[in-house]
Amino acid sequence: MEIDHNTLVAFSKSWGLFYLLGFFICVLIYAFWPSNRKRFDRAKKSILDQDDKPWK
């Protein structure tokens, strides 16, 4: 089958959109997954401590 411009455009316009939506749903699930809350809370506070040495 020959891949011409119109084929690619059609592919992009349909699957590109699905890809975008699917990706967005995954991100939403990740961001709002209940058990991730603790991890995010820890991450945002841990940069504030004044410890200036690598951990062993």
Partner 1 sequence: MAELFHRKIERSSIGFAIAIVAAASVGGIIEIAPLFTIDGTVEEAPDMRVYTPLELAGRNIYVREGCYACHSQMIRTLQDEVERYGPYSLAVESKYDRPMQWGSKRTGPDLARIGGKYSDFWHVAHLMNPRDVVPESNMPAYAYLARTPLNLNDLSQHLAVQQTLGVPYTDEMVENAARDAYGQAVPDTDFASGVSERYGEATQVRAFDGVATQVTEMDALVAYLQVLGRLTTAAYQNTAAPELPPEPVE
Partner 2 sequence: MIDKLTYSERQSASFILVAVAVVGLLMAAFGNSNQLGVHGVIVMIFAAALLYPVLSAIYAPEPVEDREASYYDDPIKVGIVLAMAWAIFGMFMGVWVAAQLAWPNLAFDAAWSTFGRLRPTHTSGIIFGFGGNALIATSFHVVQRTSRARLAGQVSPWFVLFGYNLFCVLAVSGYFIGVTQSKEYAEAEWYADLWLVVVWVTYFILYLRTLARRKEPHIYVANWYFMAFILVVAMLHIVNNLAIPIAWSSAKSYTIWPGVQDAMVQWWYGHNAVAFFLTAGFLGMLYYYLPVRAQRPIFSYRLSILSFWGIVFFYMWAGSHHLHYTALPHWVQTLGMTFSVMLLVPSWASAGNALLTLNGAWDRVRSDATLRFMMAAAVFYGLSTFEGSFLAIRPVNALSHYTDWTVGHVHAGALGWVALITFGSIYTLVPTLWKRERMYSAALIEWHFWLAIAGTLIYIFAMWNSGIIQGLMWRTYTGENTLAYSFVDSLVAMYPYYIARAFGGLLFLIGAAIGCYNIWMTVKAVPSTVPATPDAPETAAAVPGE
Q: Are 36 and 30 in contact (CB under 8 A)?
A: yes
Q: Does 20 bind partner 2 (CB under 8 A)?
A: yes
Asked if 56 and 50 touch (Cβ cutoff 8 Å), the reply is: no
Interaction partner, residue 42 (partner 1, partner 2, none; CB < 5-8 Å by kind) = partner 2
1 binds, among partner 1, partner 2, none (CB under 5 to 8 A by kind): none
Rounded CA-CA distance 43/45 in Å is 6
| Token representation of residue 2 | 């020959």
Q: Map the footprint of partner 1 across residues 10-49, applying CB under 8 A.
A: 11-12, 15-16, 19-20, 23, 26, 29-30, 33, 35-36
